[in-house]
């Protein structure tokens, strides 16, 4: 149900004339037209609010999905980085063990 805006254009025109405004009746009529065109009924306001919440909910779901995708990609990147680090660590360990073995063998022959 749309509620009407109560506006007494005659009373408004008289008030404008008392304030020294010329063509007060035209001003009052213009204001009446503007008020009639730019007001929303309760049903319209409720619909706008409902649409706003709907768009908000849809965007929230979209952001959540984007974040989940990003987290999955980050987890894969972390796992890949971890595997590469372990591979490098193992190579360094093998090289260090080989150097230590060679060093101890050389020390054994020197003494």
Q: Report yes or no on 22 lying in a domain.
A: yes
Taking the C-alpha atoms of residue 41 and residue 23, their distance in angstroms, rounded to an integer, is: 31
Estimate to the nearest angstrom the gap between the alpha carbon of 96 and the chain centroid.
51
Q: Report yes or no on 55 lying in a domain.
A: no
Give the dihedral of Cα atoms 103, 108, 110, 111; nearest 10 deg.
140
As given in the structure block, the two tokens for residue 44 are: 């319209």
Estimate to the nearest angstrom the gap between the alpha carbon of 75 and the chain centroid.
23
pTM of the predicted protein model: 0.50
Q: Report yes or no on 19 lying in a domain.
A: yes
Residue with token string 């007494």: 8
Residue 1 pLDDT greater than 60, yes or no: no
Q: Report yes or no on 101 lying in a domain.
A: no
Taking the C-alpha atoms of residue 32 and residue 40, their distance in angstroms, rounded to an integer, is: 14
Q: Report yes or no on 108 lying in a domain.
A: no
Q: Report yes or no on 21 lying in a domain.
A: yes
As given in the structure block, the two tokens for residue 6 are: 């109560």
In tens, the pLDDT along 47-67 reads: 999 999 999 999 999 999 999
Domain extent for 13: 8-39
| Overall number of domains in the chain | 1
Q: Report yes or no on 13 lying in a domain.
A: yes
| Residue % of the chain over a pLDDT of 90 | 55
């Amino acid at each position: 149900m749309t509620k009407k805006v109560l506006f007494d254009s005659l009373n408004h025109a008289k008030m404008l004339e008392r304030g020294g405004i010329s063509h007060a009746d035209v001003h009052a009529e213009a204001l009446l037209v503007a008020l009639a065109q730019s007001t929303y009924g309760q049903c319209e306001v409720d619909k706008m609010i409902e649409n706003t919440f709907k768009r908000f909910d849809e965007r929230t779901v979209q952001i959540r999905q984007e974040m989940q995708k990003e987290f999955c990609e980050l987890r894969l990147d972390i796992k890949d980085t971890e595997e590469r680090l372990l591979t490098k660590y193992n190579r360094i360990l093998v090289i260090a063990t080989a150097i230590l073995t060679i060093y101890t063998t050389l020390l054994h022959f020197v003494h």
